[in-house]
Structures are given as C-alpha cells and as structure tokens.
C-alpha cells in the first residue's frame, strides 16, 4: 500500500513522533512529584526545553509538508453565532486518532469538543480499520452525544468484502452505520493522485456492479445502513446508485461529489439525486486547490461557496449534506470547520433554513434519526 500513499501524507507521521516525545516528558514529571523541589524544577525545565525543540521540529515538518512558502488562501474573518452548531451532525467525513495518518484529535477529544459545542452527533471514519467499536466506546466516555462508525472497503479489510460489512454492523453497541466504498485504494484515486498508469479497486467496471458489490448492497439494504460512495469513478457512482436503488438501499451519500474525486458533473449529481442519493460537500474542499496550505491539499480541486450556492440552486438544499472531512494534523478541529462553513455560506447568501437542511435535517435523515 505504501506506493499508493503520497509523500506528503507519509510526512504527517513525523509530527506525531514529536508529540509522543512530549508525552514521555510529562510522564517523567509525574513520577518525581514526591521528590526534591529542585529535581521537579529540573525536569519541568527539561520539558520546557524539549517542548521548544518539539515545536521547532513540528514547524520544520509542517514546512516540509507544505513544500512551498505560500501561506495558502486567505480565509475571511467570520462571525458565527455560538449557538450555530446546536443540533448539527458531522455526517460522514471526520478523521480522528488513532490512525496511520497524522490526526489532530483522538476520538474522545473530538467527541468532547463536539458535545461542548452543542452538536447532536458525529461519525468517525478511518481509511484502514472499522470504527463501530470506537464509536461505541466514545459514547460511553462522553454521554449525551450520538457517535457512529462504519467501514471503508479498502484493501485492508479485503476490498469489496461483504463479510467486512456483515461483521461491522454486528459489533456490540449498535453504532456501525456507514459503509464507504474504496477511498485511496480505488481505481479513480490511484489514477488521479498516484499514477495514471496504475490500477485500483473498481466496483462497477463498464457500468455494471460486480457480484461482490451487489452482495454488499444487499447487506446495506437489509440492515438499513448508509452507502457512501468513497473515491470511485463518477461513472461508478452512477452505476452503484442505480443498482443500490434496485436492491432497496434507502440511504446513499455521494462522498464529496463535486471535487475532482469522484468528479461528478452537475448533470451527474442531478442523476444521482434522482436515484435517491444526497451529495456531500466538505468544508475541507473550501481550502484545497493550487494555493492550499499543504502539498497534499493542492491536488484536490477547490469547491468553495460559489459552488455550494450553485449546488443549492441546481440540486436543492434538500439533497445536499455539508460535512467537514477534517481531523488532519495541522488543520482546525471539525466543529470549528462547521462553524467556519456556516459563516462562509451565510456571507455568500445561503439562508439559515438551507444551512439547517444541509447540516441538521439531511444528515439526521441519512442516519435514521428524527429531524
């Protein structure tokens, strides 16, 4: 799998290593609290020195990750009502730690912040392992907020593997809800971001879903799960949505449908909606594009407020879900991303009623909650 990961993604791990060093120094302080004051002070001084070194190391890693000195696109100073997140659901693309990529917050930290900001629920996503168990544990640790998990059908779980879906939804706690089609192992992702001459997982070659894909769809329909289309080709999105409808799937989300992966045209997005799908738009894509802060963000097309305004006009807010796709090391927390998205959309003229549809009502519908 290593040859399918970009250099920028791999470099994220360097910052995690420095953070672990800080944790070790804090442990040293705890073990000598009963010792001499001067020894405690010495250790604290050592911690301070190490933290300065860690800060500088993190900055060097971030600079290396960015690869250029450009600070990225300027974001407006957005004033958001502190109650704006109340009842919102981060429906699909939130990436906490532990993970194989650098992440900013753990499950517990993320859910704690989301609850403090009044959010109704959050979905934990991981590209390589199922997250239904993590969601159940997070809900035990932070009562009063809904947390869901799921499984991404990458090679780490056997690709388009019906049994991976079967066991995910059976996990105790009942928090397994999402089934994402392949992401970085998909043929579309590899050809777009890795090497156009290489191949990845296809779910509907030639416009026809594979037998394994059909079996996955049957399980999703039987258990009333949510099908998210991952990073597959736009033509595969349409083929899978059509077949999913035929097999009785009720909840379909086209993963960040309007950026270059999957790269749906507005006409294709309308076609998917006609088959019962909702189109996801992620706040992360507000910040991607050639002027983005980090190198790994530059390869993704920007989908800013102008595109959201167009989508609301052409597709309708009833058929859109606004998520974040955040959680990466060096990026803002997902709840902050939601607040920024709300401010940006209001500034662009999107009504509060339409924002509530995209961030509250539609995610709740997908996840089987009362709106």
Q: What is the 3-state secondary structure (H, E, C) of 227-245?
A: EECCCCCHHHHHHHHHHHH
pLDDT-based confidence at 256, cuts 50/70/90?
very high
Pairwise CA distance, residues 361 & 359, whole Å: 7
Assign residue 64 a region: left if phi > 0, alpha if psi is -120 to 50, beta otherwise?
alpha
The 10 Å CB-count burial string (b at 16+, else e) for 172-206 is ebebbbbbbbbbbbbbbbbbbbeeeeeebbbbbee
Question: What's the token pair of residue 237?
Answer: 């999105």
Q: Does one domain contain both 29 and 113?
A: no
Q: Does one domain contain both 134 and 273?
A: yes
Q: Which candidate, 95, 170, 172, places its Cα nearest to that of 140?
A: 172
Is residue 86's pLDDT more than 80? no
- Considering Cα of 123, then 126, then 132, then 134, what sign does the dihedral take? negative
Pairwise CA distance, residues 176 & 136, whole Å: 9
205 in any annotated domain: yes
Pairwise CA distance, residues 131 & 4, whole Å: 22
Q: Does one domain contain both 30 and 145?
A: no
81 in any annotated domain: no
Q: Does one domain contain both 21 and 118?
A: no
Q: Does one domain contain both 61 and 113?
A: no
Q: What is the pLDDT of residue 316?
A: 97
303 in any annotated domain: yes
Is residue 142's pLDDT more than 70? yes
- Structural domain total, the chain: 2
Q: Does one domain contain both 133 and 93?
A: yes
Q: Does one domain contain both 150 and 270?
A: yes
Q: Does one domain contain both 334 and 302?
A: yes
Q: What is the pLDDT of residues 102-138, one digit of tens each?
A: 999 999 999 999 999 999 999 999 999 999 999 999 9
Q: Which candidate, 169, 152, 171, places its Cα nearest to that of 161?
A: 152
Name the most confidently modeled range: 1-5, 13-17, 200-204, 291-295.
200-204
Per-residue DSSP letter, 106: B
Q: Does one domain contain both 217 and 302?
A: yes
Q: Where are the alpha helices (DSSP H) in the chain?
A: 7-31, 37-66, 107-116, 132-141, 162-170, 187-189, 211-223, 234-246, 266-274, 295-298, 305-314, 334-347, 352-356, 362-366
Angle between helix 211-223 and helix 162-170 axes, rounded to 10 deg? 20
Q: Hunting for tokens 């890795």 — which residue is that?
A: 194
Q: Does one domain contain both 186 and 38?
A: no
251 in any annotated domain: yes
Residue 310 pairs with which residues in a beta bridge?
none
User: CB-based burial of residue 236 (10 Å sphere; 0-12 exposed, 13-18 middle, 19+ buried)?
Assistant: buried
Asked if residue 231 lies in contact with residue 183, where contact means CB atoms within 8 angstroms, the answer is yes
Residue-averaged pLDDT of the chain: 83
73 in any annotated domain: no
pLDDT-based confidence at 209, cuts 50/70/90?
very high
Q: Does one domain contain both 344 and 221?
A: yes
Is residue 301's pLDDT more than 80? yes
Q: Where are the alpha helices (DSSP H) in 247-282?
A: 266-274
340 in any annotated domain: yes
Instruction: Residue 199: give its domain's CATH number.
Output: 3.20.20.140
Q: What is the pLDDT of residue 116?
A: 94
Secondary structure (3-state) at 89: strand
Pairwise CA distance, residues 144 & 122, whole Å: 12
82 in any annotated domain: no
Give the total residue count for the chain. Answer: 371
Q: What is the pLDDT of residue 350?
A: 97
Q: Does one domain contain both 218 and 355?
A: yes
Q: What is the pLDDT of residues 324-350, one digit of tens each?
A: 999 999 999 999 999 999 999 999 999
For residue 38, give its domain range. Answer: 2-66
148 in any annotated domain: yes
């Amino acid at each position: 799998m290593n040859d399918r990961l970009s250099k920028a993604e791999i470099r994220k791990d360097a910052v995690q290593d420095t953070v672990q060093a800080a944790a070790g120094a804090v442990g040293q302080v705890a073990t000598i609290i009963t010792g001499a004051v001067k020894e405690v002070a010495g250790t604290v001084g050592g911690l301070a020195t190490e933290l300065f070194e860690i800060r500088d190391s993190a900055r060097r890693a971030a600079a290396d990750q960015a690869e250029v000195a450009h600070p990225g696109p300027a974001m407006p100073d957005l004033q958001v009502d502190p109650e704006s997140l109340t009842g919102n659901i981060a429906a699909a693309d939130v990436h906490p730690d532990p993970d194989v990529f650098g992440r900013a917050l753990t499950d517990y930290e993320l859910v704690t912040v989301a609850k403090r900001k009044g959010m109704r629920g959050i979905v934990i996503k991981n590209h390589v392992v199922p997250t239904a168990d993590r969601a159940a544990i997070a809900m035990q640790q932070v009562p009063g907020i809904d947390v869901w998990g799921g499984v991404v059908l990458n090679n780490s779980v056997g690709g388009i593997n019906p049994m991976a879906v079967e066991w995910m939804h059976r996990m105790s706690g009942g928090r397994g809800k999402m089934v994402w089609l392949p992401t970085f192992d998909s043929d579309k992702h590899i050809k777009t971001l890795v090497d156009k001459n290489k191949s990845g997982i296809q779910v509907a070659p030639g416009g026809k879903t594979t037998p394994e894909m059909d079996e996955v769809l049957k399980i999703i329909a039987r258990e009333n799960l949510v099908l998210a289309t991952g990073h597959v080709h736009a033509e595969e999105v349409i083929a899978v949505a059509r077949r999913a409808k035929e097999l009785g799937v009720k909840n379909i989300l086209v993963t960040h449908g309007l950026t270059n992966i999957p790269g749906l045209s507005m006409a294709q997005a309308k076609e998917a909606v006609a088959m019962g799908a909702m189109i996801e738009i992620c706040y992360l894509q507000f910040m991607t594009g050639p002027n983005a802060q980090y190198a790994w963000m530059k390869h993704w097309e920007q989908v800013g407020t102008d595109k959201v305004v167009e989508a609301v006009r052409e597709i309708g807010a009833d058929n859109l879900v606004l998520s974040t796709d955040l959680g990466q090391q060096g990026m803002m927390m997902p709840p902050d991303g939601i607040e920024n998205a709300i401010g940006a959309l209001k500034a662009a003229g999107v009504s509060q009623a339409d924002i509530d549809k995209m961030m509250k009502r539609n995610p709740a519908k997908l996840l089987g909650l009362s709106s």
